[in-house]
Amino acid sequence: GENVEQHPSTLSVQEGDSAVIKCTYSDSASNYFPWYKQELGKRPQLIIDIRSNVGEKKDQRIAVTLNKTAKHFSLHITETQPEDSAVYFCAALPSGSARQLTFGSGTQLTVLP
């Protein structure tokens, strides 16, 4: 089955700096890669996703890049703000009928004011 590794487990940045979180996956059949943000006590919220036919996607301060050859994808947050502080999870979904997302272990991002 799919295995997703996520690094780093914790990340602290100064407000206004950029943050990068990286994930690698094992199943070359995976074709959908979402990123979830989860604030303390709240639901995981989808913040951006990318499909395997695209190399990069951007939404305001957030971008995701995908390297299918190397089987890794990354989340980039620019101009970080204190409200970006949360746990971020990457995930991968293999193609096929069983829609089982495999999650990474999570990254606790802290943006220091």
Partner 1 sequence: DTEVTQTPKHLVMGMTNKKSLKCEQHMGHRAMYWYKQKAKKPPELMFVYSYEKLSINESVPSRFSPECPNSSLLNLHLHALQPEDSALYLCASSQVGGFGNEKLFFGSGTQLSVL
Q: Which residues bind partner 1 (CB under 8 A)?
A: 31-32, 34, 36, 41-46, 49, 51, 87, 89, 93, 97-101, 103-106, 108
- Which of 29, 46 has the CB closer to partner 1? 46
What is the SS3 assignment for the chain? CCCEEEECCEEEEECCCCEEEEEEECCCCEEEEEEEEECCCCCCEEEEEEECCCCEEEECCEEEEEECCCCEEEEEECCCCHHHCEEEEEEEEECCCCCCCEECCCEEEEEEC
Judged by beta carbon, residue 9 or residue 79, the one nearer partner 1 is 9
Q: Which residue number, 7 or 79, has a Cβ lying nearer to partner 1?
A: 7
| Closest separation in Å from C-beta 70 to partner 1 | 22
Query: What does the chain come to in residues?
Result: 113
Task: Please say which residue, 31 or 74, places its beta carbon nearer to partner 1.
Answer: 31
